[in-house]
Amino acid sequence: MMWQMARNRIHQCPHESDTIDMLEFPLASTGEHFGVVRRFQPFIDRVLERARRHAVTQPSITLSVWIYLLKWCHQKLCGIIHHVDRKNVYDSVLMQLTDTGDIIIQARVTTGKDEAFRVRAALPLWKWIRLDCYIQDSKVLLNTTWNDETRKYVYQFRASIHYDDTDGYFGIGGSKYIPGIHGYFGPIKYYRFGTKEIENQLHPKSTLLELDRVHQECQEITAFTKAFWKEVVESHLPSPFSKGVCMSHSINTWGQIEERICTQTWSWETQLKHSTLFHFLQAKTEEIRTGFLSMKALRRDLFEKAVGTMFLEAQINIISKSTELLQMSSCFGNHEASLFLAAIHFSNLGHSVNQEQGHIYSLIGASGDNRFALMHAGFKHIEGIDGFPKDLDMAYSYYSNAGTQSSIDIASIHEYRQYILEHIYLSNPEDLYSLTHEASDIFEYLKLQAESGHIESQTHLASMLYWGQNGISKDIASAVKWFKRSAMQMKDPSVMYDYAHLLMKGHGVKRNYTQGFLLLKKAAAMGSIKALNGLGWYHGTILNDHKNAAKYFEQAALNGSDHGMFNLALYHLNGKNPESPWKNETAAFHCFLNASRLGNVAASVEAAWYLSTGSLEGVSQDVERAVKMLKKVCEQNGHLGFMIREALQAYLQGSWQQALVKYILAAETGLGLAQSNAAHLCEELNLSHDCQRRYHNYSTLGYDPHPTALLKMGDYYYYSSSMQEDSLSLVGQAISMYSRAALAGSPQGMYNLVVLAQQGHALPLSMHSLFNVSHHDEMDVVVEKMLKRCVAAEDGNAVTPCSLALLAVQMGKALRRMTQNGAQLLLAYASLLSVCVIIIIVPLQSCFEQNVPSHRAVALRARASSVSQDGVNLNREQNGIVGGNYRGILWLTILNGMQWLQQTSDLAVTLSAVCLCAFWTTVLYHLL
C-alpha cells in the first residue's frame, strides 16, 4: 500500500548546508556554569560526509561570534566556545576569555597533544565585539572587531589540528566544566568547511544596539546616584535650591539672582535628564543622611513607587513616570522590575506592545541571574512566543541555572521568604474556602486537640506552622515545639524522623547529633524509610563511615526513598563506596533519573544534564525531556511560592491591583497557576480582553494546564469562529482545547464536545479511546457513549447537564424503537391522544367541581320557593308542573347531565392514565 501511494513521487535529497547558525537570537550569560549545548550530526550527503571526514586531520573551519561583556571574568578563565568529546575531555576548538580581557585558543593536534596560544586583545566592556576565528590545517587567524576597527592575530601550531565536530558536543558560554562570560552572546555562525568571507551581521541589530544604549544609560544613572549619595553624606545637601546644587544658567539669569557655583560631579543636563530619579532621591535625603536607606532598599522603593503610580480607580494606567521608575529599579539590580517591564512591553496591559523593549528587559533580567527572569526566558524559548524563537537548547541554558538555584534554595526552604507552592485558584471558591488562618475555628480546634495529646493533630499543626501551609504563617519555634512533643511519645516514626532532621540540621533548635541519631535509629526500626536515608547521611557526613552509609542509602533507595536514590547516585558518581570504589556514571544516571521521577530537585538537575548533552554512552540526547524536568523543578522553587503567597494574601485583603502585579510576575515564569489567576484578575478588574486571553492562552501551553483555562480558550475560539472567515480552523482549535480539558477529566469539556459532535464536527483520534468510540459508530451511539463518560465524571448525586442530555438521547432512542413495532406505535398514538384528552378534560373537571355545588343550591332554592307559594306541600302527580316547581326540575335535569359528563370525563381520564402508564412502561422497558 505504501508503494502504491509513493510510486509516482519524485524523491529529492534534503538540502544540506555547511553554514550553520549556532545562535540566531541573543543569549544572556550570567558568568556561571550554564550555557547552550549544540550537537552536530554527520552529513546525509555522502560526498559532503566524505569531505568532512577527510578534513578531520586537515581542517578548514570558521567561527564568527558576537559577544557583549558586562563584567570581567570573575575566575581566571571563562568559556566563549568549547568542544567536549564523548570522553568528556576538551577537544578542538576551545576559545576562552581571561580575567584581563585576553583570549586563549586551545586545540588538539594530530599528535594527540593539546596546544594553546594567548591573544593580548584586551577586550572592552559594554561594547559589541565580533570574534572571527579561521582555522586552516595548523594555522589559526583571529580577528577582533569593535567600534569598526579590526585587529588581526595569527598563530601557527606545530602540527595539524585534529577536528571532528560530530564527536561530543559544543558549548556556548559555560558548562559543567567551565564558567561562561558575564554578558550576552549575539549571532554565532559556524562554517564547517570554512569560508573566505564571513557574513555575520549584528542581528537583530536594532534590539542589540538598544540593549547597549540601555546599559550605557544604567551606567550613567548609577554614577549620578552615587554622586548624589556622596554629596548628601558628605555635604548634607538639604534641597535643590541651596548653594552648590547644579542649576541652569538661564534660570539664574531669568531670576536675576547671584550665580552659584556647581560643586557636584553631575551636570545640570544630567540632573534634568534624570529629573524623576533626582526628585525621588531628594525625598529620601534624610534616610540617606542617617544611613537608613541602602541601595537594596532604594531599588525596592523605586519598584513599589512605580507600581503605586500605575493604578487609577481600579484601572491600570502605565504612564512614563511608572516605566522610568521601573527602569531605574532595574538598573540598580532589581530584576523583578526588569521582568515586569518585559511583561508590560509584551502585553497590551496599559501600554502599547513593543517586543523589542520586551526582549531587552528579558535579557537584562536573565543576565542578572534572577530566578524568575531565567524561568521567563526559558518559558518563551520552549513555546516560541513573544518573538522568541522556539529553541529547547536555549531554554535548557536558562532552566538549568534556575533549577540549580532551586536545588540550593530547597536546603533553606524553612526560611521565612520561602514557601511551598500551594495551588489555590481564585476562580475556584472551594480552593479559597479550604484556606485557614490563625484566628479560624479550625485552627483553634486543631490546637485544642494537639494540647490534649492527640498525636495526629500535633503532627498536622507542626507541619502547618513549619511550612506555612493552608494560609498559616510560618512559626518555626512553635512548629519545633509541637514536633518535639509528638516525637517524644515515640509512636509515630514519620514525626520522629522530622524532629531528628531538625536536630541534625539545627533548624529552629540547637543542633544535637546524639539525640537526632537515637531518634533516627528508633524511627528506622519502626519502618521509616526516610530515617534509613538519614542514618546514611549521618554515617557518611558525620562519622565518615562510607561503607555503612552506602548500605543505608541502598536500603532507602530500594524502599522508594528519592533522597536515598540521590545519595546513592552520588556514591556511584564519586566512587565512595568501599565495596565498589570506582566511578559508575551509568548507575549514577539511572539513580538520578529514578529520584527525579519521585520529585527530587537535585536529582532532576543532574539527570537533565545527561539528557541535554547526550554525553553518556547508552543515553541518547533528549533536550525536551530535560527541559520538562527542569521546568517542573523550577516551579517548586520556594521564592516563587513566597510570591504566590504574597499575591494570594493581597487578593484576600482586597488589594487586587497588587495581587495582579505579583501574579503577572509569576505568570511570566510560565507557572500555569499564576497565569490562570492573572487572567481571572484581569477579568475581575475589567481590564482589556487581551490581558485575559493572553494569560489564559499561556496557561494552556504548559505540560499540565488547568481545565478552566482550556475551557476559556475553547469558548474564545468557538465564539470567534462565528465572526471570522476562517471558522473551520478556529472550531478545530476549540475542539482541541475542549479535548484537552476532557482528557484532564472535565465534564464541561466532554459536554462541549458532545454539542460540537452533534453539529457534525469530527472528534480527534485521541478522544476515541477516552469515549470508547470508533469511526464506524453512528452519531447517536457516539453521542450516547460520550454522555455516559461525562456523567461518570460528574457528581453522581446531582442533576447535571450531561445527565439530562443523556436522558434525552436515551428517550429519543427508546421512542425510535417503539415506532418500529405496530402495536407499540398504536400505543404511542393512543398515548398522544390521551395527553390531548387530559389537557382538555382536566380543566373541565375543575370547572365542574366549581359549578356543581352552585347548581345544586339553585335547584333546592327553586323547589323551596314553589312550596312556600302554595302554602302546602303537594307532590308532582297531584298538582302537575307549575311556576317555580318547573324551574327546580329544570335545574335538577341540568345537574344530572353535568354529573353524567363528569363521570364520562373521569372515565376518559382513567383510560388515558392507563394508556400513558402502558406507554411509559414500554418506554422504560426500552430504556433498561
458 lies in a domain? no
* pLDDT at residue 381 tops 80: yes
Share of the chain above pLDDT 90, in %: 45
Lowest model confidence (mean pLDDT) among 468-477, 524-533, 705-714, 816-825: 816-825
Lowest model confidence (mean pLDDT) among 237-251, 440-454, 565-579, 903-917: 237-251
- Within this chain, do residues 189 and 219 fall inside the same structural domain, yes or no? no
- Within this chain, do residues 114 and 162 fall inside the same structural domain, yes or no? yes
- Within this chain, do residues 109 and 160 fall inside the same structural domain, yes or no? yes
Q: How confident is residue 431, by pLDDT bands cut at 50, 70 and 90?
A: confident
Which residue in 494, 538, 533, 498 sits closest to 517, CA to CA? 538
Lowest model confidence (mean pLDDT) among 300-314, 401-415, 912-926: 912-926
Lowest model confidence (mean pLDDT) among 432-441, 701-710, 784-793: 432-441
CATH code of the domain in which 111 resides? 2.60.120.200
- Within this chain, do residues 178 and 31 fall inside the same structural domain, yes or no? yes
* pLDDT at residue 455 tops 70: yes
The span from the CA of 603 to the CA of 344, in Å, is 36
758 lies in a domain? no
- Within this chain, do residues 52 and 119 fall inside the same structural domain, yes or no? yes
- Within this chain, do residues 127 and 225 fall inside the same structural domain, yes or no? no
Query: Tell me: the pLDDT tens digits for 552-562?
Result: 999 999 999 99
pLDDT at 880 (0 to 100): 47
- State which of 345, 368, 391 marks the end of a domain: 368
Cell 533519573 locates to 593
3-class DSSP state of 797: coil
- Within this chain, do residues 169 and 230 fall inside the same structural domain, yes or no? no
Q: Are 699 and 675 in contact (CB under 8 A)?
A: yes
How many alpha carbons lie under 13 Å from residue 660 in its C-beta half-sphere? Answer: 26
pLDDT at 548 (0 to 100): 92
- Domain region containing 916: 821-840+901-927
Work out the number of other CB atoms within 10 angstroms of the CB of residue 348: 15
Q: pLDDT averaged over the chain?
A: 83
- Within this chain, do residues 110 and 28 fall inside the same structural domain, yes or no? yes
856 lies in a domain? no
- State which of 334, 368, 402 marks the end of a domain: 368
How is the chain split among helix, strand and coil, in percent rounded to 5?
Answer: 60, 10, 30
- State which of 340, 368, 396 marks the end of a domain: 368
Task: Please state the pTM of the whole predicted model.
Answer: 0.84
* pLDDT at residue 876 tops 50: no
756 lies in a domain? no
The span from the CA of 186 to the CA of 128, in Å, is 8
134 lies in a domain? yes
* pLDDT at residue 258 tops 50: no
- Within this chain, do residues 47 and 27 fall inside the same structural domain, yes or no? yes
- Within this chain, do residues 135 and 223 fall inside the same structural domain, yes or no? no
Q: 155 phi and psi, to 5 degrees?
A: -140, 145
Query: Tell me: the pLDDT tens digits for 143-154?
Result: 999 999 999 999
* pLDDT at residue 667 tops 90: yes
3-class DSSP state of 10: coil
Query: Tell me: the pLDDT tens digits for 613-646?
Result: 998 988 899 999 999 999 999 999 999 999 999 9
Instruction: Give the DSSP per-residue string, 333-378.
Output: T-HHHHHHHHHHHHS-SSS---HHHHHHHHHHHHHTT-HHHHHHHH
pLDDT at 629 (0 to 100): 94
684 lies in a domain? no
Q: Count structural domains, the chain.
A: 3
pLDDT at 882 (0 to 100): 46
The span from the CA of 321 to the CA of 462, in Å, is 46
- Within this chain, do residues 109 and 182 fall inside the same structural domain, yes or no? yes
- Within this chain, do residues 81 and 176 fall inside the same structural domain, yes or no? yes
801 lies in a domain? no
Lowest model confidence (mean pLDDT) among 182-186, 556-560, 850-854, 909-913: 850-854
Q: Cell for 588?
A: 549514577
Specify which residues 21 forms β-bridges with.
189
Q: Are 577 and 548 in contact (CB under 8 A)?
A: no
87 lies in a domain? yes
